[in-house]
Structures are given as structure tokens and as C-alpha cells.
A and B are shown apart, each in its own frame.
Chain A
Amino acid sequence: MVVHLQVSTRNVGNATVIDVIGDIDLYNSPEMRKALMAVLKEQNASRAVINLTRVRYIDSSGVASLVEGLKVARERNARYILFGLSKAAREVLELSRLIKVFEVYENEEQALGAT
């Protein structure tokens, strides 16, 4: 079944959670990038928490969007957290040696509770 990308945001306490659903590839990574930039630049989120629980595939263009979000967050002194990485997403971040540059948690509770 083809799962088109869905990206939505919600506010939880002082965090903005970005829920991403679907595969992230060259076709739809611009959509995720746009959502990340909107949260960080237009909403000025101080804590962006990206929910990847329902992302079963991510390619280098998706990883590039996540890295771009991280750089913008750092420029704005915003917290930038990922959680719920699938095996596939974790493998890609490990292969690209980027897993260590992100703040990663297993689930939403841990991500929101991170101090």
C-alpha cells in the first residue's frame, strides 16, 4: 500500500510535536522540510519534537531535511528532538553517522520529559 506523507503539528506544554506519517523520499521530503521550517522559523518553537514512529522509510533527502532543521534549531537556540525511530530510520542515521548529532528518544513521553 502506498502511504503518502502526512505531516501535522500539535502543541504539548512548551513543545511543538511534529507528527510525520509515511515514507520520506525525494518525492515528499520537501513537504517535511517545509513543516519543520514553519515550526522553527514562523512559529519560533523553542522545543521541536519530531515523531518518526510511523515513518517506515527515510532516504538521504529526508535525512538532509532533518539535518537542516537541526541547524536552524541550533541557530535559534531551540531544542530539536527526534523520537520513535523505526529500524529503517535508525539504520540510515547510523550509516550516515548522524545518529550521534541528534537528540534521540524511544518514545514521546521520554522526548517530552527530556531536560
Chain B
Amino acid sequence: MDFSFKLELVSDPELLCVVRGAVQQLAAIVGFTEEDCRAITLAVDEVLTNVIRHSYGNRHDQPIEILCRRLPLDSGIEFLVVDRGRSADPDKLKGRNLDDVRPGGLGMHLIAQIMDTVHYEPLPDRNQFRLIKYRKSPHPVGAESSPESSGRGG
């Protein structure tokens, strides 16, 4: 049976561990391997970290919604992360050259490496990050997906 699951929280980093627990369990229910469950959890955590740091400028009392959906036939899992903060600069969604060893800027790279679809959509009243992971990735191992962005950037 397909399911939907919704979490509403404030942008407090102390709650990230709670979200990780839920996401890891949801991915396991869909049937992902332990390694995939850890990776999916990391990707969602990285999106939330971006929202808290960049969209909300480290304010810890702002609303975040996370909607999770099991795709038909257990083919995968979809997350929609919604915030009502500033839209991000699209250039910062592309990840950076990892040959330059320095702190920071790794989050988007990790998200794109892990998930099969990464789509950022800034809307007039909110920003949406849509992530999809399929159980059997249609992409060859090592292939990178790039975040798609639309509108005024994210």
C-alpha cells in the first residue's frame, strides 16, 4: 500500500536527529538496503541543513514541512521539503568542484550523488525541494544527478 507521511517542525537543528530517525525508518519500510537508508537519511538531513542555514539564516523558529510518499509498487520514495524563507542562489545548488579541498559546500554535492531526482522550486510563498530515490537506480553507479532549478533560483 502506498503511504504518505508528513512532518511539521521548526527550523531548530536540535530536531534534525528526530527527522533522521523517521526518514531512516521510512526508507527501510519501502525496502531500501541499509546503505541506501543511511544515504537517503543523509540527503534529507542535508536539505534541512540548507534550509536552516540559507533559507532561514539560522533562525530556529521557522516552519518546515516534510512530506514523504512511497512510490507505486515500492519503486522508491519521494520527499518534499517545504520552507517559507529566502530563495537560494541557483549557483549554490550545483555543488562545487571537489578537487578544491576546503570546508563547506559539500551538502548539495552529497544530495545530488545520493538521490535520483533533485528538484528545487522557489514559489511565490514558499520554496520546495523535491527528492526522489528509486529502489533500483536508473542511473549507472557513480553517475551524478544535478539539481534542477526553476524560477528565481534556489
Contact = CB atoms under 8 A, between A and B. Distances in A.
A67 B101 contact: yes
Contacts of A57: 20
B110 A61 contact: no
A88 B38 contact: yes
Contacts of A97: 98
Interface residues of A, number: 25
B36 to A, nearest CB: 10
Contacts, number: 65
Mostly helix, strand, loop or mixed at chain A's interface? helix
A88 B113 CA distance: 15
A92 B16 contact: no
A27 B13 contact: yes
Contact of B39 (A67, A71, A91, A96): A91
A96 B17 CA distance: 21
Contacts of A27: 13-14, 16-17
Most buried by A among B16, B106, B113: B106
Q: 9 tightest CB-CB pairs across the interface, nearest first?
A: A27-B13, A64-B103, A60-B106, A60-B107, A68-B103, A26-B13, A67-B103, A26-B49, A97-B98
Interface of B: 13-14, 16-17, 20, 35, 38-39, 42, 45-46, 49, 52-53, 98, 101-104, 106-107, 109-110, 113-114
